[in-house]
Amino acid sequence: MDPFASPHNLDRELHSLLAEASSSLCDWLAESGGQGPMPDSFDLPEVSPAKKGVSNKVILSELKLLMNGSYRPSHPGSLAHLDPPPLSASIVGELICAGLNNNLLAEELSPSLSFLERKLCKWFCQKLGLGDFSGGVAASGGSLSNLMALVMARNFAGLESDASAVFFASDDCHVSFSKALRIMGLKDESLLKVPTDENGELNISGLRSTLEKTKTEGKKCFAVVATAGTTVRGAIDPLSEIARFCKKEKIWLHVDGAIGGVYGLSTITSEMVQGLGSADSITVNPQKLLGIPKTSSLLLVANKNNLYSTFSTGLPYAEPITGNDFHGGEIGIQGTRSAEALKLWIGLRQLGEEGIEKILLDSIEKRCYLESIIDSSKFKIISGPLHLLALTPINYTSSQAYDWSIKTRNSLLVNKFMLSRPMYRDRYYLKAVMGNPNTKFEHLEILANLINHSIV
Ligand SMILES: Cc1ncc(COP(=O)(O)O)c(C=O)c1O
């Protein structure tokens, strides 16, 4: 078989390969419920290319091996992380994306898709209240969106060559900010952690005193990071208050809304993230809740020119862009980029505004329900207004909580529930994320019963 499809005739081999591969993917999805979140064991196919290329039959059987060893996000007990099952239309979108193989680097390599990405980013910006000059760019994951935001904020403040420049974020901010430091050539001390309150939200007076201290030390702050949806408990920092503070102090506000940003898309839930529209930049990860296959993250900015002034280098090997806009490769760190906007766009089209709202509301309802049926005399539950919660036994020492977390996670896995085991404030918790539409209330009742009986 010619491994490249003919540009002249219908390639029947590709046609049947796609049909058979799609059919085994559909089988894999359909079998998920009868399996567990994790495979019991798996065999890897041959990894190195053989001397001669393998047949379609071999390709299909090797793909099946890999599928059998894969994590199953569709299983109703898959509740460990922010990795929901994929939307059907987005699966197709990803396939079409690979087939088109366009490049979001420059318009000439992705004429329609470059426009699609720009318009889709604008739609998000408008929904989240970012104003007329806003725009954005898709990035491969929230860590990259956060990194780009910090680089842009530092550039905006004119502090790119100030090694003592700092930024602030809460104690519960995501680890991607520590990674960003290293990439940006900053020291660990350049990230000043502001204490959180008992709800896991950034403490605003702590923010004020951190800035005062920074000023006394003669250092300059280039950004405040607020988190809309912290990783372990889904807390939302007081966005409006932080925005007022940043405006007064003339400091860039970046909101890491990798988890909570999507709640700004519905008028019913947007109140929870009020103040989002006052940010200078926002990370949003539709991959984490809306069923868009990985990776799907957007960096949205109130003024798109800031992306360009930070990242443009000129693209001397591409034709100038038409109209008054920027090539994708000029407004972010990545050069060549896949058209990730395609699966995002088609997935959201499939859901419609009502479908998006239903996912958001259902996720919160399930978290509230699970929280209500966990025995609060035995467990400390930490959660925010979103769809995640974490719990740990009340009367245990840290080391007992550690043993309990391992034992309970394993016994839940035997019962086909997968929770994650984060360490939070020196103690292990079990965390459940209610982003899986296949999880029903009956599943949550079984889960709560197992958890409630995990300690006597
Ligand atoms: C709050 C928050 N921000 C950023 C990220 C990083 O996103 P990604 O894993 O897509 O890089 C995560 C990941 O879980 C997160 O929880």
Distances in Å between the Cα of 397 and the Cα atoms of 139, 206, 224, 370, 374 are 41, 29, 35, 24, 20
Residue nearest to ligand 1 atom 7, measured at CA: 142
273 and 379 share one domain:
no
Mutation test residue for ligand 1: of 150, 176, 232, 290, the one with most atoms within 8 Å of CB: 176
Residues 149-158: tens digit of each pLDDT: 999 999 999 9
Is there an atom of ligand 1 within 6 Å of 169 CB? Answer: no
Q: What is the pLDDT of residue 405?
A: 98
- When pLDDT is cut at 50, 70 and 90, the band that residue 204 belongs to is very high
- Report the CATH number at residue 375: 3.90.1150.170
- Report the CATH number at residue 282: 3.40.640.10
Instruction: Provide the domain limits for residue 57.
Output: 12-70
Is residue 77 in some structural domain?
A: no
251 and 390 share one domain:
no
Is residue 320 in some structural domain?
A: yes
Q: What is the pLDDT of residue 98?
A: 98
Residues 89-103: tens digit of each pLDDT: 999 999 999 999 999
Domain termination residue (choose one: 326, 348, 370): 348
Is residue 6 in some structural domain?
A: no
User: Which atom of ligand 1 is nearest to 81's Cα?
Assistant: 14
Is there an atom of ligand 1 within 6 Å of 143 CB? Answer: yes
Q: What is the pLDDT of residue 1?
A: 74
> What integer best gives the mean pLDDT of the chain?
97
Domain termination residue (choose one: 21, 53, 70): 70
Closest CA to 341 of 295, 391, 289: 295
Ligand 1 center from residue 285 Cα (angstroms): 8
C-alpha to C-alpha distance for 446 and 182, rounded to whole angstroms:
44
Ligand 1 center from residue 174 Cα (angstroms): 6
- When pLDDT is cut at 50, 70 and 90, the band that residue 434 belongs to is very high
Mutation test residue for ligand 1: of 174, 178, 294, 333, the one with most atoms within 8 Å of CB: 174
Is residue 222 in some structural domain?
A: yes
Is residue 118 in some structural domain?
A: yes
381 and 334 share one domain:
no
C-alpha to C-alpha distance for 290 and 97, rounded to whole angstroms:
19
Is there an atom of ligand 1 within 6 Å of 145 CB? Answer: no
335 and 360 share one domain:
no
- When pLDDT is cut at 50, 70 and 90, the band that residue 323 belongs to is confident
User: Which atom of ligand 1 is nearest to 141's Cα?
Assistant: 10
Residue whose tokens read 């360490």: 423
Radius of gyration of the chain (CA): 23
- When pLDDT is cut at 50, 70 and 90, the band that residue 248 belongs to is very high
CA distance from start to end of the chain: 63
Q: What is the pLDDT of residue 456?
A: 86
Residues 120-132: tens digit of each pLDDT: 999 999 999 999 9
C-alpha to C-alpha distance for 291 and 405, rounded to whole angstroms:
28
Strands (E), 87-186: 135-139, 166-170
CB 299 within 8 A of CB 136: yes
CB 245 within 8 A of CB 266: no
231 and 308 share one domain:
yes
Backbone angles phi, psi at 221, to 5 degrees: -105, 125
Is there an atom of ligand 1 within 6 Å of 285 CB? Answer: yes
Mutation test residue for ligand 1: of 143, 147, 150, 196, the one with most atoms within 8 Å of CB: 143
Residue 401 corresponds to which amino acid? A
Residue whose tokens read 């079409």: 96
Q: What is the pLDDT of residue 322?
A: 81
